[in-house]
Amino acid sequence: MTTHRRDIPALPDLVFAAAVEPQRLADWLPPPLDVVGLAEDILILRDDGRLTQVRLAADFDHLRLTWESLADPTRRGSLTVSPLGVGNSVAELEVEPEDEEFANRLLDALAKEVEATFTAG
């Protein structure tokens, strides 16, 4: 599995909050993904017109979010956020099956949401 990285000019806790908080998650996931609902640890997504359920697990101590499709356990991934100098973070994303374009779109969308939410003046 390839790790995709994106430097984000914000504190790690803020980046992770943008990634896991349900309302923010709904705001930054790029098309064709659309959040339909959240029940406990199950995220319901519309993916290009099809509904899919994804189990989420957030580790707030290690700033790590993992997910797995309930219908297809081979579709899974993880996002880890780490400090990168003063006031900066690095987001590391792994997705299966490997899809570099999708991974880069996710990281770009997350970075834009963090910038719009936490660094807009």
User: Considering the chain, what is the average pLDDT of its residues?
Assistant: 90
Q: How far apart are CA 107 and CA 29, in angstroms?
A: 9
- In tens, the pLDDT along 47-104 reads 888 999 999 999 999 999 999 999 998 999 999 999 998 889 999 999 998 889 989 9
Q: How far apart are CA 74 and CA 16, in angstroms?
A: 24
> What are the structural domain ranges in the chain?
4-28+56-119
Per-residue confidence band for 39, with pLDDT thresholds at 50, 70 and 90: confident
Which is nearest to 63 in space by CA: 76, 80, 87? 80
Q: What percent of the chain stands above pLDDT 70?
A: 98
Q: Omega before 83 cis (within 30°)?
A: no
What is the reported pTM?
A: 0.89
Note the CATH number of domain 4-28+56-119: 3.30.530.20
Q: Which helix H or strand E contains 72, and what residues bound it?
A: none
Overall average pLDDT of the 20-47 stretch:
86
